[in-house]
Amino acid sequence: MAFKYAIALTGSIATGKSSTVAKFASLGFHIIDADKIAHQLLDEQHHAVAELFGETLVREGKVDRKALGAIVFNDSNKRKALEALLHPLIFKEIERLSAEQDKRGEPYFIDIPLFFEGGRYPIERSLVVYATEEQQLERLMHREGYSKEEALNRIQTQIPVEEKRKLASYVIDNSGTLTQLEKECERVKEEILNDNY
């Protein structure tokens, strides 16, 4: 059975999920990465992507993700078309990997950026990586070079991180330093291991 020992690791754009995932991996947790699976499947589906969004997005069997992102973040119908293509395939692969992982009988993370938005995964426990909206904005503008408007656009396609925080089983506060993030991960590791699985 899939998802029995899974914890959905989520947050919002630019809250620091990658740093948190890396820390939990170093603490011995296994991670299933939905984004990595999505990127792999996106390239595998490059013919369908070219049909839906145009040939110019595909070069040598690889999809230009940045160009595709610019399209789907500005058009909810196109975003839905992409999701309809990819999400069932992503789910199937995550379910397969989860069933493998469950055989070990210990908690592990599935990194799912849009866990609450999608409502597709039957995972009981979730961990939200939290940062303030101001920090999200700042990080997106700094890291990706987005204008304030582009950054806000991306943030607003997701459920606000304050709401996700209320829905979570565990919360990692990533509004401080890297040292604080490490302490938060250690604290949550203990919480998880003390819970009954």
| pLDDT tens track for 97-150 | 999 999 999 999 999 988 998 889 999 999 999 999 999 999 999 988 899 988
**Is residue 137 within 8 Å of residue 18, measured between CB atoms?**
no
Burial label for 61, CB within 10 Å (0-12, 13-18, 19+), is exposed
Cβ-in-10-Å burial (0-12, 13-18, 19+) of 18 comes to: middle
Q: What's the CA gap between 14 and 174, in Å, rounded?
A: 10
In this structure, which amino acid lies at residue 84? A
3-state DSSP assignment of residue 190: helix
**pLDDT score recorded for residue 197:** 62
Rounded mean pLDDT of 31-47?
94
CA distance 128 to 188: 11
pLDDT in tens, 55-105: 999 998 899 998 998 899 888 899 999 999 999 999 999 999 999 999 999
Give the pLDDT of residue 193: 93
Residue 167 pLDDT exceeds 70: yes
129 forms beta bridges with: 172
The residue length of the chain stands at 197
Which residue carries 């110019």 as its tokens? 56
Bridge partners, 172 (sequence order):
129
Region class of 186: left (phi > 0), else alpha (psi between -120 and 50), else beta: alpha
State the pLDDT at residue 73: 82
Q: Is this model's pTM higher than 0.85 or not?
A: yes
Q: How far apart are CA 41 and CA 90, in angstroms?
A: 7
pLDDT at 172 over 70: yes
Nearest Cα neighbor of 130 from 1, 20, 8, 4 is: 20
Mean pLDDT of the chain, nearest integer? 93
